[in-house]
Amino acid sequence: MSEENSQLPTEPISAVGIITSISKAPNGYYVVAQTTDGSDADLWKDGLFKSKVTRYLCFSRETDPEVVVDIKLMDAKDALPEFFTPLQETMDTKEPSLRKKRLCVKMRPREAAETAVCDILITAKSKYQLVNYTCIGDINNMGIWYRMGNVPRHQSSQETPSEIQTDTSLTVSRRAMSRPDHEQQSSGNYTMTALDDVPFVVSEKFYENRLEMEQVNLMGITIKSLAEIEEEFQYNFGTERSIVQ
């Protein structure tokens, strides 16, 4: 069993469910169809009467935002533990999932979880021990076991400082290549632009009719030139100067 354990996948389980038939497992789900010794892993089977009702446990390792961090198997009458969600119905037919028992899972965001459930097995006898696995209880003379593992951190979500520095350098280089030369010349805090040293003057065409414009009478108001204004309102401040002297 130790050799088999070393070959088990380490990706965390992101969802657990119960289905009525092995053939009805959702896409991406693995069905625990057999026990570790090859027996049928039907969770509903009745020892006294043959029944057509079957229940199988299944789980997924898809890269979802949440992962399963704990599993509990408890009596249906027991109080639900905090943060646990019971698997009340089958995934394929929405029928009751188990008899007298409730399988409950605890979820946690992937980024916040350091460890998570990475494998689930079912044994034919509860006394059978699995290395590195934890038994959560018995159902129909079968034991349900789970194995914990570390939640891997993908490199794409964690850039090293050297990678960040390289990306920044490339960005600066591309930005510098895309700018004209005159934008790169700088002195102190001032950066030269394409409009520097360009003289701004009024076009000579606006001076052609300057004299005519000065004689315009608008609603009885005569527009006077600067010389006419200075001549009319000139004041030499002679009185003030004589008083001061």
| Region of poorest pLDDT, from 35-39, 51-55, 93-97, 210-214 | 210-214
Comparing CA positions, the residue from 47, 68, 48, 38 lying closest to residue 128 is 38
Average confidence score pLDDT of the chain: 78
C-alpha 132/C-alpha 99 separation (Å) is 28
**Nearest residue to 11 (alpha-carbon basis) of 120, 86, 103, 85:** 120
Q: Regarding predicted confidence, which is higher, 186 or 84?
A: 84
Rounded Cα distance, 86 and 209, in Å: 92
Kindly indicate the confidence band of residue 108, based on its pLDDT and cuts at 50, 70 and 90: very high
Nearest-angstrom CA–CA distance, 108 and 85: 12
Model pTM above 0.75 = no
Q: Can you count the helices (H) and strands (E) in the chain?
A: 5, 13
pLDDT score of 111 more than 80: yes
**pLDDT score for 49:** 55
The token pair at 42 is 């039907």
DSSP H stretches of helix in the chain: 2-6, 161-178, 210-214, 226-232, 238-244
Domains of the chain: 2-156 (2.100.10.50)
Dump pLDDT digits (tens) for 161-212.
444 444 444 444 444 444 444 444 444 455 566 666 666 666 666 655 555 5
| pLDDT exceeds cutoff 60 at 87 | yes
Residue by residue, DSSP assigns 125-158 as STT---TT-EEEEEETTEEEEEEEEE----GGG-
